[in-house]
């Protein structure tokens, strides 16, 4: 039987068939659906959301050492967070197979940078595989598990957005029930004291030589012979692009096992073709090593190393051909930048915060990053997960030292607070800063598609669990001034900001209201007095001041000819922010 699956769905199926016992991840586009699909196999697999990627990798490594086949998944920047255990796992090796999935995001569809994580495999001295479609994604999970156990190494599986989210046919198989390997205490392998690690480094280098031999032998790296005037070395989704452009007018060395590279196989292939191209997305990972081996090739001097690759770019770069495209008047295409949803509780928060003078707002990664966009314009920085509180602290220390009268407000989401904000808040307390930290608690990990986290009261596999309380955590970390507010009440928000600005000690404001798109949990129904409704503009009363438009709500639009505001009933959820800002009370709630 075959199914049409995305790469992420195929990986979950492959992990199930490969007999894995444990999986952990922190949600991050484009990798999120891997764990969501693995969670369905409740009888066979323990699948968990972790507070961050470091914890996910450490948990998976622990399960592997115990003897279980284990998997951890993350988006590319997540591997930065998990880099510490990742590099150490290269030394300890495994017991049960361990596969770490990194989903890179060429084109920055939903990320703060465009890094190429293939270099992590080389730097960490671990094996790497790269599927180029869903069938390979499924197959490679099982192969990667076998490589991991055979060579005693974690295996990095590198995906990109196009493989994660594109669909292709996948042959469905049966699950292989793999017994958990016996656990044996082994200080010489899992105890990374310096004296032990020194000896393990020698073993790592010996392992890399064996892996290169395997790389030259495995069918994961194979040749397709066609016309030998052009030879192409490629991997991942870039191989599909090269095939689409050159078809049978070129020969291909398709690489599925890409660290270490099969240099003997590459040399033999290069000797057989007249002109050698290396087609790869983002950085010249393969090209650099090919050239270092003394093999002439054409790569990044023609193919760009920025943004997502596609067949059109490959064709134009290597053949100088422009594909015919449909011509249209680009001036009439509406520019639709991302924006906070209608009814988003973050909008009211940023609307009120934006009124504050002499304020630096350090932001973070999540839906609320959009608070920095027009018209709210209520953010100064966004760096990485958890950086808002730390960066704000650094600024505050300088502000104190140079007698500046500015205040720093650090804004972070609930899931991100659990991810890596707690340690930053502890730093604020420990180093005696007086920043105002605002946790925008919308009761879910919203931006990646509503995944549970330690504060929602549910596990990934739907079991009720202990609900982490942000206010109690903040107090436990040493914050003495903590206030929880309803962000949809502007007067309540203003009072909270007045209170926090008046303090000369660190404070935490928790802005707590469910995401406008969230299906309310039983906990939410008990806590929040949520009454869905619609708002409407009285055209007779509206004076066309546009203050309601300046909240940035996508449900509100302005008729330039009539000089009046209106509300799209299909989008409005009745949050009433516009009602509170209208100076002439022209907006009211109607119906449900």
For residue 110, the model assigns a pLDDT of 86
pLDDT in tens, 216-237: 999 999 999 999 999 999 999 9
User: pLDDT tens digits for 369-385?
Assistant: 999 999 999 999 999 99
pLDDT at 186 over 90: yes
Residue 394: band (very low, low, confident or very high) from pLDDT cuts 50, 70, 90: very high
Rounded to an integer, what distance in angstroms lies between the CA atom of residue 459 and that of residue 453? 7
Q: Taking 90 as the threshold, does the pLDDT of residue 331 lie above it?
A: no
CB 247 within 8 A of CB 285: no
Rounded to two decimals, what is the model's pTM? 0.93
- The answer to whether 542 is a known ligand-binding residue is yes
Structure tokens at 71: 């998997």
What is the rounded distance in angstroms from the CA atom of residue 244 to the CA atom of residue 553? Answer: 43
pLDDT at residue 592, as a whole number: 59
Mean pLDDT of 499-509: 97
Mean pLDDT, range 338-366, rounded to an integer: 95
pLDDT in tens, 529-569: 988 899 999 999 999 999 999 999 999 999 999 999 999 99
pLDDT of residue 532: 83
The residues facing 511 across adjacent strands are 440, 485
- Write the pLDDT tens digit of every residue in 276-323: 999 999 999 999 999 999 999 999 999 999 999 999 999 999 999 988
User: pLDDT at residue 334 above 80?
Assistant: no
Mean pLDDT of 138-162: 98
Euclidean distance between CA atoms 507 and 433, whole angstroms = 10
179-183, 393-397, 402-406, 468-472: range with lowest mean pLDDT: 402-406
For residue 190, pLDDT beyond 70: yes
**Residue 336: is its pLDDT beyond 80?**
no
Domains of the chain: 2-215 (3.40.50.970), 221-319 (3.40.50.920), 345-527 (3.40.50.970), 534-590 (3.30.70.20)
Planar angle of CA 102, 183, 85, nearest 5 degrees: 30
- SS3 sequence, 13-35? HHHHHCCCCEEEECCCCCCCHHH
Is 535 annotated in some ligand binding site? no
Q: Is 468 exposed, middle or buried (0-12, 13-18, 19+ CB in 10 A)?
A: middle
8: region left, alpha or beta (phi > 0 left; psi from -120 to 50 alpha): alpha
575 among the known binding-site residues? yes
What digits encode the pLDDT tens for the residues 409-448?
Answer: 999 999 999 999 999 999 999 999 999 999 999 999 999 9
pLDDT at 402 > cutoff 90? no
Average pLDDT over the chain, rounded to whole?
96
Percent of the chain past pLDDT 70, that is, above it, reads 100
* pLDDT value of residue 227: 96
């Amino acid at each position: 039987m075959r199914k049409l699956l995305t790469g992420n769905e195929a990986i979950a199926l492959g992990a199930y068939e490969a007999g894995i016992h444990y999986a952990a991840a922190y949600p991050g586009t484009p990798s999120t659906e891997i764990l969501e699909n693995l969670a369905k196999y409740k009888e066979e697999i323990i699948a968990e959301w972790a507070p961050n990627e470091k914890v996910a990798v450490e948990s998976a490594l622990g399960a592997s050492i115990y003897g279980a086949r284990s998997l951890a998944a993350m988006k590319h920047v997540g591997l930065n967070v998990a880099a510490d255990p990742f590099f150490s796992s290269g030394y300890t090796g495994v017991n049960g197979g361990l596969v770490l999935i990194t989903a890179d995001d060429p084109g920055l569809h939903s990320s703060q940078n465009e890094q190429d994580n293939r270099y992590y495999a080389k730097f960490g001295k671990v094996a790497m595989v790269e599927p180029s479609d869903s069938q390979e994604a499924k197959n490679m999970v099982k192969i990667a598990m076998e490589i991991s156990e055979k060579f005693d190494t974690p295996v990095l599986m590198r995906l990109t957005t196009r493989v994660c989210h594109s669909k292709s046919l996948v042959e469905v198989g049966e699950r292989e029930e793999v017994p958990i390997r016996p656990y044996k205490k082994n200080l010489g392998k899992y105890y990374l004291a310096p004296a032990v690690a020194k000896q393990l480094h020698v073993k790592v280098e010996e392992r890399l030589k064996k892996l290169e031999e395997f790389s030259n032998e495995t069918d994961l790296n194979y040749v397709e012979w066609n016309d030998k005037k052009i030879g192409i070395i490629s991997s991942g989704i870039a191989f599909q692009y090269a095939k689409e452009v050159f078809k049978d007018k070129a020969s291909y060395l398709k690489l599925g096992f890409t660290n270490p590279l099969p240099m003997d196989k590459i040399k033999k292939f290069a000797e057989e073709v007249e002109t050698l191209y290396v087609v790869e997305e983002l950085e010249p990972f393969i090209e650099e090593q090919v050239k270092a081996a003394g093999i002439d090739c054409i790569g990044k001097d023609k193919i760009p190393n920025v943004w997502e690759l596609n067949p059109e770019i490959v064709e134009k770069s290597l053949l100088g051909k422009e594909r015919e495209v449909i011509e249209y008047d680009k001036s009439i295409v509406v520019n639709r930048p991302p924006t906070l949803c209608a009814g988003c509780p973050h909008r009211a928060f940023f609307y009120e915060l934006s009124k504050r003078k002499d304020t630096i707002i350090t932001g973070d990664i999540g839906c609320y990053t959009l608070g920095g966009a027009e018209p709210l314009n209520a953010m100064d920085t966004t760096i990485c997960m958890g950086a808002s509180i730390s960066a704000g602290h650094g600024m505050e220390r300088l502000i104190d030292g140079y007698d500046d009268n500015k205040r720093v407000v650090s804004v972070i989401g609930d899931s991100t607070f659990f991810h890596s904000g707690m340690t930053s808040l502890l730093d604020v307390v420990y180093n005696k800063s007086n920043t105002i930290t605002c946790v925008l608690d919308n009761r879910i990990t919203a931006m990646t598609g509503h995944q549970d986290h330690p504060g929602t009261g549910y596990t990934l596999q739907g079991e009720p669990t202990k609900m982490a309380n942000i206010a109690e955590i903040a107090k436990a970390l040493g914050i003495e001034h903590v206030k929880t507010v309803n962000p949809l009440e502007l007067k309540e928000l203003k009072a909270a900001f007045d209170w926090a600005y008046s303090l000369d000690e660190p404070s935490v404001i928790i802005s707590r209201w469910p995401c406008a798109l969230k299906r309310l949990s039983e906990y939410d129904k008990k806590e929040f007095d949520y009454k869905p409704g619609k708002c409407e503009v009285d055209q007779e009363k509206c004076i066309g001041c546009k203050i309601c438009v300046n909240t940035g709500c996508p449900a509100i639009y302005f008729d330039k000819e009539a000089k009046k505001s209106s509300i799209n009933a299909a989008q409005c959820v009745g949050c009433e922010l516009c009602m509170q800002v209208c100076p002439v009370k022209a907006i009211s709630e109607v119906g449900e």
